[in-house]
Structures are given as structure tokens and as C-alpha cells.
Structure 1
Amino acid sequence: MPWPIRPFRWPASAALVTPIWVPRAGFRPRWCCRDVGRPGPRACASRSGLEVCVSADPPATVLPARLGVLSVHTSPLHQPGGGNAGGLNVYVVETARRLARRGIAVEIVTCVPDGWSRLTPFAPGVRVRHVPVPGLAATPDADVAALLEPVAARLAVEADYDVVHAHYWSSGLLGRRLCELAGVPMVFSGHTLAAVKNARRAADERAESVARLNAEQRIVATAERLVAATHAEAAELVGRYGADPAAVDVVPPGVDLSTFTAGDPAAARAVLEVAPDAALLAFVGRLQPHKGPDVVIRAAALLHGRIPELAVLIVGGRSGASYPRGALRRLAADLGLADVVRFLPPMPPAQLADVYRAADVLVMPSRSESFGLAAVEAQACGTPVVGTDVDGLASAVRDGRSGLLVARPEPSLVADAVRRLLTEPGLRPSLRAGALAHAAGFSWESTVDGLLASYRHARCGSAAA
């Protein structure tokens, strides 16, 4: 689908549609449900001469034709699993492709440290706009908004979005200013929230800045819609940030059920050069303290000698808040696990699926996790998960049905859960069946359905049905 180049104009159905002007943050064109002949369950009202749509059921005619997706700090072209690239990248790519298939032109905006502004075709109906912002990675959180001001001004002139969907707090800052200048609504997905990370962080882990906390507070207060991955995240937005509950849409992420499938574990182990009889633990994710790869290694040390043929795969790369270079390898060596633990770089989905199929268990001892996409990917391959009972993992994993959740990311608790899964008669086959059934309920098509509903409500200015 070609990207439609056009100046702003009312839609073809303008004769049937009355624009609604909302004075907050400038005049913004909206569409009222009653003017397309299908009023929602509540009538439209008039306040101070302004039409205000309070329908709980915006019609499909208010879907955006052009969507701006902001991913300031990480590019969709980057391989997830290292640096700043993770589940957010997967989310943006998978939803953008499917939104385009439904007739929406999608432009993903990402910032690069140097070079020139350019547009790169990514998929049919999807392109990536690279905007150079020198020094962004080293900029203190308090100065990010000022650094992104010229980007917002340029996008307000050059781009022509009907809705902006901002991912992560830095994108929210850009989106907030862009939407003020362009007069369009913003939908915000936090992915990780500073207040939640600070509440869960270890004593030796750096706290998220006050500047970021304040920025998220402003973004939450001004975005038309907030997208939460789980009901737990929705509760955090309301409880910690004071979000209006009626403005929060719970839209679970999906999984590519055509790539992550139950396959032949023996064949996957042959590809990875893992012994057929090994008890294989896998960790998949960025090597950050809050995700707990060190906990996996320490748990393996407690299991070593108790579980025959123990093997561990750590799949992922360093990130901004990572361990000192080589620290995890030294930890494994110090614990006598140099021949047990293998480190592999981030992998594309098809290769990652082999890791999941080969593993007996995926271990995710995260301190905080907005969702835990790797957990659902693993379950789609038939691999149960041992994780911590925090945030999104409590939704991504069904405790006792598709995996086992422990109260805290402590090596002894994780080791006990892994030992139980590997040794208790009948437990692993039962969890494998439950994992496949649970993962089948997550699809990117369902995610896109939820996002489209959120975009409709953002444009109509109404609460979600």
C-alpha cells in the first residue's frame, strides 16, 4: 500500500461528519458518533456551544488513515535482545505490519545519533523516518524534552498524522509536543514505568530519575488514551500516576504464532549443539540486572550436582544499564559453571524459536516486567516458564498451569521451582500442554483490534466501551 501524500483535509464523508473542537492543547478535529448515523449508548451533549462526543462506541469511520508511531530511543530495524532493543521493538514491528494490512499508512519515527533525515521503506504500507538527534543517548533525562523540541516542530510541518502512538517515556515527550503543535490526539504506551522500576529495584541498582518520573506524570495526564499491557499495569497507571481509569485501555501484546510453534526439541538441540539428555535452562532477554540473568546463574549453581546433565543458555546482549563487561561470565566461572553456562548473542525469531524448543524451561526471574514477551513466545513453543510473580508475568504465565511463579527473584526460590518442574512426575508434560493452550490466546491480530479501538476513542474523545 503506497504512503498517501496529501495536505490535511476533511474526510470524504465530511458532509456526514461534524468536527468537534476541544480547547485543551489547541483546537483538535474530532468526529462525533451521532453524525455518522450511529449514536452510542449515551447521547452527545453541548457544553458552552462546543460539541462534545461522550459516546462509548465510536464508529469505524473515525479510524486513522495515517498513524505516526514514535519509537525515539530504539529503531525497529535493530535486533531485539541487546542495547535498547527489546520487546518494545517486537511490539512496534508486529503491530505496524498488521495495521498496514488493514489499510492504515504507518510511519515509525526513530532518532539516530548522526547522519541525515531519511525515509526507509520497511514493509508494505510501513516506512521508518530516521531523524538525527546528536547526543540524545548521553543527554540527561531533564534535558530530553528540549532536545526533542526541534524534532516535534519539524514533524508538525512535514508529517500529517491522524493519530500519534508514542512508545516509552522519551517518545511520549516528543508526542506530547508534536500533538500540541499539530492538533492531533496521542495514545501512549509506557512499556516500562519509572515508578514501578524504582519500587522493584535492588539496593545496588540505579534509580530512575526524578525528571523521568515527572515527565511520565505529564504524559499520563495529557495523553488522550493510555495503553496498558495488563490489568496490573493499568492499576499502576491509576495508582502511581493518577491516570483516569476511563482513559486506560488494556491491550495485551501478542505472539507470532506462525513462527513460535511446538517443534522437534531433539532437532532444535542438534542445531544448538546441546546434548539430547541435558536438563536445559534458558534465559532470553537483555542482560540487565532487573531481568535477573545473574539469578539464573546462581540458581544453576544450587542445582549443579543435583540435576544430572545440567546446561544453561543465556541468550541476549548488553544494554545501557547492563553489568560490567564480562561480569556474568566471571560469575559463572567463579561458581564452577564455566562448562555449564553458554552465552549466545541476540537472535532473530526463527533461531530464537529453536532455543525455546530445545529448553526444558525458560527462566525469567525479573524484578519488574510490564509483560514478558519472551514468556509467551516460549509457551507457544511448548516450553513452560519459571518466573517471578510480578507485574506482567502474572498475566503472561498461568501459575501452576503453564509455568511456576515464585514470590521473589531469589536464587533459592528459582532453583526449587526449576527442580520441581524437572523432577516431579508428570509436571513438565502437564505444564507443556498448559503452555501451548495459554499462548494460543495471544495473537498480534487481537492486539491490533485493541489498538484500533483505542485510536477510535482517541479521535472521538470518548471513554472506551
Structure 2
Amino acid sequence: MPPVRRVAMLSLHTSPLEQPGAGDAGGMNVYVRSVALELARVGVEVDIFTRRTGEERPSWEEMADGVRVHHLAAGPPHRIPKEALPQLTGTFTAALTEVAGALAGGGVDVLHSHYWVSGTVGLTVARKLKLPLVHSMHTMAKVKNLRMKNLGTAEPPVRVSGEQAVVSGAARLIANTSTEASELESLYGAHAERIDVVAPGVDLETFNPGSREISRSLLQFPQRSFHVVFAGRIQKLKGPQVLVAAVRELVERRPDIPLTVSILGSRSGSDALKLQPLIDDAGLHDIVRLYPPVKAAQLAHWFRAADVVVMPSFSESFGLVALEAQACGTPVLAANVGGLPQAVSDGRTGLLVEGHSAGGWSAALERLFDDTPYREALGRGAAVHALAFGWQRTALLTAQSYRTAVERFSSIAAR
């Protein structure tokens, strides 16, 4: 099987240098950055191409040995809503084509695009350079439309058709879970033999068990409170409104619970939420507090300071937050959707909740408060479970997908 020494990653949607939880940055930022760093450690050089979002950004910068981030001029040099990105695919393709000579002559073996907008660009560039394209969806329009029927506008047809073109044209598709692989097959007609299932990972050096007391002291939280944490973008898709409704019901039913709820993140996307008015209307301003996104090392303290981390998402391709929280020894209460059932082992590392009713979520929170030994056992199981998801494993399996793509692409070209 041919070796792969250099890969060009396309991430028009967002830069791996952005703060997760802010704007449109999230798990995909963590994914691209972490996989790139681990690929470099196993001998695969990575060039990441993204859109310039600030005048101060250099044309390229080194993220680590063997990993470079290139900022291409495509559209205005500032952040724009991701809904506007399809209008920039032509300019991004042109900007990338300008450096295509350097790519073609620089020993690039494969292109790897992330999210559908990058995938459509990747198809064009791959044809120009005569290189195989590997694509990671991260999220899919048809899946979101099925799961969010009553939560906002449907994903646009241009995205659906763009994703279909990528599925049909990419040499390999990388799915986070077997569930996502099945969705690619059933909803987009992908061929199973072109799909590689590669689970995301977790930074086990940053996210690991520690003292809840120490983390609470650092964050100035009372030791005896029942602390619930949500971390993610403040949008309907992620479900923080479900948490607020559940907390309102729980407070009314069980005023004896010393409840503290921390929501970390910022508003994002067309389904962004104004969460503070919901909190105020529910009379929860003394219990539920909003905080801005934080760096990974600080986020680990928030997870360690929590009794439970909640993910009431309506759609998740995997759920990196669930892994990070579990790695810190904290159980996760997650919606039974998408990849979350594979990220969270129900009854062993956390609990999966069916649906998004306030009653269902408040009952699950109440159960975890009332049964401290069970909650602590879930936390111990969570820490062990997360050990199987290091980023090195993700990178090695990704490199294997690259080699398969190159081998099959070369055999077709030789015919």
C-alpha cells in the first residue's frame, strides 16, 4: 500500500485556530486541529487551508512541527455566518487554485475536506490536481432536517445537493460512527465499501480525572451544590433551552436540591438562542448562569467541577463534549440521538434520555441527584471509557483511510 507523507486539509467552514464554542466554531475545530497534530506526530505532514477572517492573519502560520495553517482570501476578511459560505465556494476554489502549483509540486498525496462547503471545493481542486479526495461530513443536512422539524428553517437545497455531489465524488468518506455510516448509505446512497468509520478522540493529557473540590475552589463554586454543566454553542440544535425548561420543572418539584447550572458558550447560527430571557422568564437567574467559552485547560476544570454534564442535542454526529467530560470522570446526561449513544455508554458512563421533554430531563437529573453512589460509579466508568478514545488512534485510522484512497485512486488512474 503506498505511503502517505503529506495531506492538504480543507476547512472553509472554520479555522482550527478559532475558540470552540464561539461563533460557528465547535467540535469540528477541535477535530481538525487534533487529527492534524497527531498525523504530524506519526510522520504525515499537514497543510490546512481555511478562509482568512482577520486582516492581521498572516498568509500562513505554523501550528506545530509538520502542521501549517494557510489563510486564503475568500470573501470579506472577517467572520460571516456559515449560511453565507456557499456564496464563497467559487472564490475559495480560485484562491486555492492559485497555490495549486505549490501543492501539486509539493508532494501532496491526498486532499481531506471537512464539512460540505469544503467538500464541494475539494471536488473541483481534486480534479485539477488529479488527487483523491477524502471527506468528513461532521453534520448532514438530511439528518438535521429529520431531527429538527419544528426547531427552525430546514437546511437549504444547495446544501443537500452539495452533500450529494461530495458523497458521489469523493474517493473515501470518513464517518464518526456506524450510525453516521448507515445514514450516508440510506439517505445519500453512499457505497458501504467507500466508508471508513473512525471515531473522534479526546485529549487525555488535558481532560483527565482530578479533584472536584480543587476545581470548584478554582472556579469559586460552593462545594455542596448539585452542579450541572452545559458546554457548546447557544443554538436550538444543541438544546440548552431543553435544559432551562427541565431545571424550571425540577426546581418547582424539588426545591430542596441545591442546584447550580452553568452554561458555557456563545450564540451561533441561524437558530441562535437568546437564552437569558428564557432564564429570567423561568425565574432561574439565581440558579442558571451564562459564561463565555473557555480554553481546553479551563474547560477541564468546569467538567471536573460538575456533578453531571448535559447534552440535550437534537443532532450530534458524535459529541466531543461527551468524551471530554467523561475523560474528566464526570457522567454525561445525553440525548439518545446520532452518535451520542456510541460516545456515552448508557447506564455505565452516563444516561441516555429519550426525547426532549422537560419532564424526561428533569427526572433524569433528579435521579442522579438522589443516588450519589450510582452517580459516582458512572463517573468512574466514564473515566475508563474515555481512555479508549485517544486522538492518536483517530489519526492512525485516518491515515489508513488516506492510504486506501491513494491506492484505489492510483489503480483507477492506471486503467
TM over 0.5: yes
Richer in helix (by share)? 2
Aligned partner of 1:180 in structure 2 is: 127
Q: Partner letter of residue 318 of structure 1?
A: R
CA positional deviation for 1:151: 2.5
- CA–CA separation in structure 2 for the residues paired with 1:142 and 1:351: 34
The C-alpha deviation readout for 1:251-279, integer Å capped at 9, x for no partner, is: 00000111111101011111111111000
Matches within 5 A, 1:352-367: 352-367=299-314
Is 2:42 aligned against 1:95?
no
Aligned partner of 2:73 in structure 1 is: 132
Matches within 5 A, 1:69-88: 69-88=9-28
CA positional deviation for 1:201: 0.6
Q: Partner letter of residue 121 of structure 1?
A: E
1:372–1:396 contact (8 Å) kept in structure 2: yes
Aligned partner of 2:59 in structure 1 is: 118
1:82–1:287 contact (8 Å) kept in structure 2: no
- CA–CA separation in structure 1 for the residues paired with 2:84 and 2:303: 38
SS of aligned partner of 2:142: helix
Q: Partner letter of residue 22 of structure 2?
A: G
- CA–CA separation in structure 1 for the residues paired with 2:192 and 2:392: 25
Is 2:97 aligned against 1:148?
no
Q: Partner letter of residue 230 of structure 1?
A: T
2:72–2:96 contact (8 Å) kept in structure 1: no
2:39–2:396 contact (8 Å) kept in structure 1: no
Is 2:218 aligned against 1:278?
no
2:238–2:311 contact (8 Å) kept in structure 1: yes
Which of residues 303, 306, 325 is equivalent to 2:250? 303
Q: Partner letter of residue 375 of structure 1?
A: A
2:309–2:325 contact (8 Å) kept in structure 1: yes
Aligned partner of 2:45 in structure 1 is: 105
CA positional deviation for 1:148: 3.0
Aligned partner of 2:316 in structure 1 is: 369
CA positional deviation for 1:159: 1.9
Q: Partner letter of residue 12 of structure 2?
A: V
1:231–1:250 contact (8 Å) kept in structure 2: yes
CA positional deviation for 1:318: 1.5
2:200–2:394 contact (8 Å) kept in structure 1: yes
1:173–1:215 contact (8 Å) kept in structure 2: yes
Q: Partner letter of residue 422 of structure 1?
A: F
2:51–2:92 contact (8 Å) kept in structure 1: no
Q: Compare 74-83 and 243-252 and name the one that shifted more.
A: 74-83
Aligned partner of 1:207 in structure 2 is: 154
Q: Partner letter of residue 21 of structure 2?
A: G
Is 2:3 aligned against 1:63?
yes
Which of residues 241, 255, 267 is equivalent to 2:214? 267
- CA–CA separation in structure 2 for the residues paired with 1:288 and 1:309: 27
CA positional deviation for 1:207: 1.0
Larger radius of gyration: 1
What TM-score, normalized to structure 2?
0.93
Q: Compare 201-210 and 292-301 and name the one that shifted more.
A: 201-210
2:344–2:350 contact (8 Å) kept in structure 1: yes
Identity of aligned residues (%): 42
Aligned partner of 2:114 in structure 1 is: 167
Q: Compare 231-240 and 195-204 and name the one that shifted more.
A: 195-204
- CA–CA separation in structure 1 for the residues paired with 2:217 and 2:53: 41
The runs of 5 or more residues in structure 2 that have no matched partner are 410-415
Aligned partner of 2:261 in structure 1 is: 312
Q: Which runs of 4+ in 1 moved over 4 A?
A: 113-117, 138-142
- CA–CA separation in structure 2 for the residues paired with 1:235 and 1:155: 36
Which of residues 258, 276, 281 is equivalent to 1:329? 276
Is 2:237 aligned against 1:290?
yes
CA positional deviation for 1:425: 5.3
Q: Compare 236-245 and 297-306 and name the one that shifted more.
A: 297-306
- CA–CA separation in structure 1 for the residues paired with 2:21 and 2:153: 21
CA positional deviation for 1:409: 1.9
- CA–CA separation in structure 1 for the residues paired with 2:363 and 2:265: 24
1:84–1:320 contact (8 Å) kept in structure 2: yes
What TM-score, normalized to structure 1?
0.83
The runs of 5 or more residues in structure 1 that have no matched partner are 1-58
Which of residues 177, 182, 194 is equivalent to 1:235? 182
Count of aligned pairs = 400
Q: Partner letter of residue 147 of structure 1?
A: T
2:198–2:394 contact (8 Å) kept in structure 1: yes
The C-alpha deviation readout for 1:86-125, integer Å capped at 9, x for no partner, is: 1111111111111111222111100124648711111111
- CA–CA separation in structure 2 for the residues paired with 1:176 and 1:73: 16
